[in-house]
Structures are given as C-alpha cells and as structure tokens.
Amino acid sequence: MYIDIEKHADSRLVKPVARECCVYCGACVCVNPSPGVGFKDGELVFDEESIMFDKDLQVCPVINANHSTTYPKPPVTEGQTVDELLGPYLEICSTRSTDETVLKKAQIGGTVTSLLLQGMKDEVIDSALLVDKDKGWIGKPRLAATPQEILDFAGTKLSEASVLTCWRDAIKKGYKKLAIVGMPCVTIAEHLIDGSPDFSEFSDIHKLKIGIFCMEAFNYRGLFTEFLKDNQKIKPSNIQKIDVKGKMIIHEITVEDKIAVHTYSLKELHKYGLLGCLPCHDYAAEYADISIGSVGSDDGWNTTIVRTELGKKILDSAVASGILLKKRIKRPRTSKKSICT
C-alpha cells in the first residue's frame, strides 16, 4: 500500500490516507516545523496550508513509492548476505549485556542500551533519540545526551511515540553525532530524510541507526485504555514490565505489592494494532546499521543483526570492552543468497 506522491500530489485522497495509515514515526513533523503539522490527542493533524506534499510526504515510510514498509528495498553493500526475510546483513548473533544495572532497566538482554553506552564512550555518538514513558505507559520522545539519560530511557515501550520529532532539537542543541533507535518504519524514514538534499541539516548530524524488530505497533487508547484498563481491569500505572516474544506478557503490581503475570496472544490483540502496520513487510529493520530483537535467541538474550561496518565496529567494541557477551546463533531456515562476497 503506497501512494505515488507525484501522481496524487493535488488530490485530497493523500491526506486522509496519510492520516489513517500513520505509524507515528514523527518524520513529517520533524522536517516541517510549522505549527499546522503535528500530533494532537494521539492523532496526526495538518492543515491545508501547512502540508508540503513534495517534502513532508516524501519522508513518510508508509506511503513513499520508492522506500516503504510495504516494499522495503534497503541498499546493499559489499560483503553483505541478502536474506529474503531479514534483509542484508554482515553477521547474525546472540548478545547480552553483562551489566546488572543495564539488565535491570532493559527489556530483554540490554543490547541496545549497551551499544549506545559503548558508542558514547568511543565518541562514535554524542546523543541519541530514544523513547521514554510516563506512569501510564504513554510513550514520550526524548533526546539523551549522557550515559545516565541513556539508562533512564532504557526498555521497550509499546505505544506510538513519534521519536523523530526530537531530531530538530538535536540540531538546535549543537549535537554532531546522533544515534536514533526506532522501529522499522522509523529506520526507513531516517533513510528517506538522509537521502534527500532538502534535509541535509538532519543528515549532517545523523551517525547511527539502531533498529528494533517489530511485528506490530499498538494504538495506546486501544491497548492500554480499552483492553487493559477497561476490559482486563489492569491500570497502566500498575504495569511494571511488558514482554513481547510470540505473545504479550504483562507484569502487574497488585494491591498486595506482589507481581501478577498476565499472558495474551498477539492474535487476540491484533485489533488494537495501528492500521499503517498491516501492510508492513519490514519486520527486522532492514535499513538500520544494526537491528535488535529477541526472537530466535535463548531467553534473556537478544538476536542481533549486524548490517553495516559501523554497526560491526560498535558491536565489536562493546564485546571487546566486556559490556556485551556474544555467542553464535542457530541460523534461521529462510531463503537467502550471498552477494558481493
């Protein structure tokens, strides 16, 4: 599902489709600082005068005709192997943090947090766009510029957060080596922004793309309010942790100050997913420098797909410093072909 922007640039069809299929990456708001483009009450809003079809919509990862979540076509470089399901890569392995502080804050494995900490230590990056959450599990985009802020914002958040809206903040604050952590749709939007001469101010400071495996993102009001709060009688503010690995596991703090574990099938929760996620074929963030998930690895470990030399450099450094453990992973049985070897 995509709209040819050049063909439909003057059509009123583009706006409602863009709005209904929005995956809340924040790309359009990032490149268009107009007050007429933004998010209000969890919905994408833009007025007739503010939207710029040739700029705002060319960075949309859902409706762009050349690079979209429906038809991902990540660039391939020398030395990579191309897998039909996982995309191009240099290496696939399992990783896990050795730092108990990181493991306590992280969702599973702590690899993303460890890579960011190592990247900052090595001066590969000086800042990172991440997602925080409030007590009700509402996602909030954040710009982290210290190791402590990276730790503070660790862990997975399941609701939309529009992380790219903070990219302009990094420019204003003078950061030069920005890392961005996001779902596959976010990494595609990053690629579109980086590749456009209209947005060189963003690409000039962009250093590292870390992608997160994603089968589906959820609408906050649907999942947390309608299903968990109203249907299951679980207050979002009482949720300690949420794990997603083939199913959703909710860890709830009870009135007795104990932990109650609730398990739900993803099929049961599918109706609360974002509409823009339905046609997505990029599960493993193929446009990232390094992609992180948990499917395919042992419990407590991350599946790590190294895609670029930069991703390999940071992973190797983290392993060498002892902040990450690394082990071989059993290769998934998918169709692949080796190129550029």
- CATH number of the domain that residue 321 is part of: 3.40.640
In the predicted structure, residue 5 carries a pLDDT above the cut 90: no
User: Rounded to 5 degrees, what are φ and ψ at 139?
Assistant: -70, 140
What's the whole-number mean pLDDT along residues 73-97? Answer: 93
294 shares a domain with 197: yes
166 shares a domain with 104: yes
- Residue 65 belongs to a domain: no
- Residue 76 belongs to a domain: no
**One-letter amino acid for residue 250 of the chain:** I
Given 246, 272, 298, the domain boundary residue is 272
**Contacts for 202 with CB less than 8 Å, ≥ 6 apart:** 30, 31, 167, 168, 171, 193, 194
- pLDDT greater at residue 84 or residue 90: 90
Q: pLDDT tens across 158-201, in order?
A: 666 789 989 999 999 999 999 999 999 999 999 999 999 989 99
Which of 246, 330, 308 lies closest to 87, judged by CA?
308
- Residue 67 belongs to a domain: no
> What is the rounded CA–CA span in Å between residue 74 and residue 93?
21
> Nearest 10 degrees: CA dihedral of 169, 140, 148, 312?
-80
In the predicted structure, residue 113 carries a pLDDT above the cut 90: yes
Q: Residue 332 gets which letter from DSSP?
A: P
In the predicted structure, residue 96 carries a pLDDT above the cut 90: yes
State the pLDDT at residue 4: 40
> What is the rounded CA–CA span in Å between residue 21 and residue 62?
7
99 shares a domain with 177: yes
pTM for this prediction: 0.85
- Residue 206 belongs to a domain: yes
> What is the rounded CA–CA span in Å between residue 62 and residue 68?
5
> What is the rounded CA–CA span in Å between residue 253 and residue 231?
17
- Residue 263 belongs to a domain: yes
Long-range contacts of range 306-309, CB-CB < 8 Å, 24 or more positions apart? 306/89, 306/90, 306/91, 306/92, 306/93, 307/74, 307/80, 307/87, 307/88, 307/89, 307/90, 308/77, 308/90, 309/90
161 shares a domain with 105: yes
165 shares a domain with 235: no
197 shares a domain with 94: yes
Alpha helices in 71-110 (DSSP H): 100-105
Average pLDDT in the chain = 84
Q: Do the Cβ atoms of 57 and 28 come closer than 8 Å?
A: yes
**One-letter amino acid for residue 205 of the chain:** I
300 shares a domain with 185: yes
Q: pLDDT tens across 257-298, in order?
A: 889 999 999 888 888 888 888 888 899 999 999 999 988 899
What's the whole-number mean pLDDT along residues 79-106? Answer: 93
136 shares a domain with 27: no
- Residue 69 belongs to a domain: no
Q: How many structural domains are present in the chain?
A: 3
In the predicted structure, residue 61 carries a pLDDT above the cut 80: yes
> What is the rounded CA–CA span in Å between residue 217 and residue 186?
12
226 shares a domain with 206: no
In the predicted structure, residue 10 carries a pLDDT above the cut 50: no
- Residue 88 belongs to a domain: yes
> What is the rounded CA–CA span in Å between residue 263 and residue 217?
18
- Residue 20 belongs to a domain: yes
Q: pLDDT tens across 201-225, in order?
A: 999 999 999 999 988 888 888 888 8
163 shares a domain with 95: yes
303 shares a domain with 327: yes
283 shares a domain with 311: yes
Q: Residue 74 gets which letter from DSSP?
A: -
Q: pLDDT tens across 118-150, in order?
A: 999 999 999 999 998 877 787 888 999 999 999
> What does the block give as tokens for 328?
């071989």
Cα-only R_g, the chain = 19
* pLDDT above 70: percentage of residues in the chain: 83
Which of 122, 102, 126 lies closest to 114, judged by CA?
102
Given 233, 251, 272, the domain boundary residue is 272
Range of the domain at 45: 5-59
Return the biggest CA–CA distance within the chain: 60
